[in-house]
Amino acid sequence: MFSSRDDEHPNAWLRYGPADGTMFVLDISHSGRVEFSQWKDTDYHVELAPPVELERVKRQTALILWKALDRGDLECVRRELHAR
């Protein structure tokens, strides 16, 4: 995601949704921009909280966020986002 300079596809996103229907989305661009959003459902109809947006996130931090959301560790995701 960081080694490619594809202007048409500058980002990658990961969605995590537990059985209760809520959905969490992490969007990371090659420029280091990160957005984390939280939704009540998988149709993006009801936002649970305003998205958290960060700029110039280091690759190491982005990878920590990606792996944490992949394993469903929302506490780690929130902790990393708010430490910035």
Name the token pair of 10: 């500058």
Residue 7's pLDDT band (boundaries 50, 70, 90)? confident
At 61, which helix (H) or strand (E)?
helix 59-70
Considering the entire predicted model, what is its pTM?
Answer: 0.87
Sign of CA dihedral 72, 75, 81, 84: negative
Separation between Cα atoms, residue 58 and residue 55, nearest integer Å = 9
8 pLDDT band, cuts 50/70/90, is confident
| Residue 34 near residue 26 (C-beta atoms within 8 A) | yes
- pLDDT tens-place string over residues 31-75: 899 999 999 988 888 999 999 999 999 999 999 999 999 999 999
